[in-house]
């Protein structure tokens, strides 16, 4: 059984962290993009950098198409048993995501 650390209805965040009773943790992020090609570019840039096996963190990455408006969202889910490893993995991923978004904004005309 997983318990939410943040309420799903919370307007403050697109992400949730779930804590399992057995120590298992899960963090989910949803990053919306105005254009689906930007979400796919971020997906392709971030998928090539897997989590180190010794960290004990597993990451699932995908793109959710929004529909006819052309937007999409990058969805990522982290699974870990150690909160420190989850934090380090999330921080690293967000640093890389920030770099990808900055690159898209700078070079996409």
Spell out the domain ranges in the chain.
2-107
pLDDT at 2 over 80: no
- The end-to-end CA distance of the chain, in Å, is 46
Q: Give domain 2-107's CATH architecture.
A: 2-Layer Sandwich (3.30)
Element (H, E) at 105: helix 83-107
pLDDT at 5 over 90: no
> Which of 13, 48, 44 is CA-nearest to residue 27?
13
Task: Please state, in angstroms and rounded to a whole number, the distance separating the CA atoms of residues 109 and 103.
Answer: 11
> Which of 60, 65, 100, 57 is CA-nearest to residue 82?
57
pLDDT at 45 over 80: yes
Q: What is the pTM of this model?
A: 0.76
């Amino acid at each position: 059984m997983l318990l939410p650390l943040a309420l799903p209805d919370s307007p403050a965040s697109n992400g949730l962290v779930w804590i399992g009773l057995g120590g298992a943790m899960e963090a989910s992020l949803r990053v919306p993009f105005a254009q689906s090609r930007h979400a796919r570019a971020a997906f392709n840039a971030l998928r090539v950098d897997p989590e180190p096996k010794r960290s004990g963190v597993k990451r699932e990455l995908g793109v959710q198409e929004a529909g006819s408006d052309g937007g999409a969202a990058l969805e990522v889910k982290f699974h870990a048993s150690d909160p420190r490893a989850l934090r380090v993995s999330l921080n690293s991923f967000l640093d890389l995501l920030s770099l990808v978004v900055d690159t898209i904004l700078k070079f996409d005309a």
